[in-house]
Amino acid sequence: MKVLVTGANGMLGQGLISHLRDTATIDLLAGIRSPDRQTGLPTDVEPVVLGDLRETGPLPHKALSVNAIVHCAARVHVMSESASDPLSAYQEANVHGTLRLATQAAGYGVQTFIMISSIKVNGEATPRGLPFRADMPAAPSDPYGVSKWETEQRLQELSAKTGMKLVILRPPLIYGPGVGANFLRLITAIEKGMPLPLRNVHNRRSLISLKNMADATLRCLTHPAAAGRTFLVSDGEDLSTAELIRRLSEMMGRPARLLPFPLPLLRVMGRLTGKSAVVSRLIDDLAVDSAPIRQELQWAPPQTVEQGLQHVVQWHRTHQQTKSH
């Protein structure tokens, strides 16, 4: 099976390529935006320059002469948005760019298209004991989530029209080597011994390690029952933010400096400082039901949460040592 992975130099793309290249039956192509994006790619994986997917015109013949495409390339969610019209910016990259790739892929006879979507299609938070499921109504609340939902719908229309098999994966936060954003900030805060007012947080948050995400994607590539399905994926063990901090602190050899603080006051402080979204992600529930992919595709995460966290801590330690030299 010949597989193109787009966004190959991003965190998820690199993790997928690292995992898939160990599978003897898969011949990989690494889709990158420009020739200078080859850094970090394995030397035995052939890169193919796709250019900017937002542009028009035909994509390289080599990129589309494959059996399957795993589409990781996207304009990713950021906490501090700088675009004057964020929705249009996300739609241009995530909707129009993806449709350009998928439409040309279908024309070339690509058999399977796997879209890496986001749990943000479902929403930002779940009531206690009621995890998100794929069959729930979509409720995206920000431009990134809206763009992913629009992309899913357009791809489903294309699949129905052309017969190209479509699989959609909606992960929650993916953590692993190369992680950034809020997860990296949390690790940095623990490393610096910063007091965190989160002892009273008893929420439930689903996560997925990079290795588990890559393995779930591999199962969708190889299992015939995956076609036409949307799956929510996770490690299978939900953690509170406080428990996550405790585990990371122990692995890093740092004290967990968790302070008690009233949650309503945290929300007020978030509103006053323009950080409501950050506070919500720290204290609200966001749980996903990953039972369908486990039961229907017989998928089991190869890595426990403990192993996944240990892996990212080891990466961070090595990364910091490399930066200091």
Assess contact for 67 and 41: CB atoms under 8 A: no
- Rounded to whole angstroms, the Cα distance separating 284 from 238 reads 12
Contacts of residue 318, defined as CB under 8 A and 6 or more positions apart, other chains included, come to none
Please identify which of the residues 90, 108, 144, 175 carries the catalytic annotation: 144
Assess contact for 4 and 68: CB atoms under 8 A: yes
Q: What is the 3-state secondary structure (H, E, C) of 60-118?
A: CHHHHCCCEEEECCCCCCCCCCCCCCHHHHHHHHHHHHHHHHHHHHHHHCCCEEEEECC
Tokens of 194: 């910063």
- Is there a catalytic annotation at residue 144? yes
Residue 190: CB atoms within 10 A of its CB come to: 23
Q: Which residues are catalytic?
A: 144
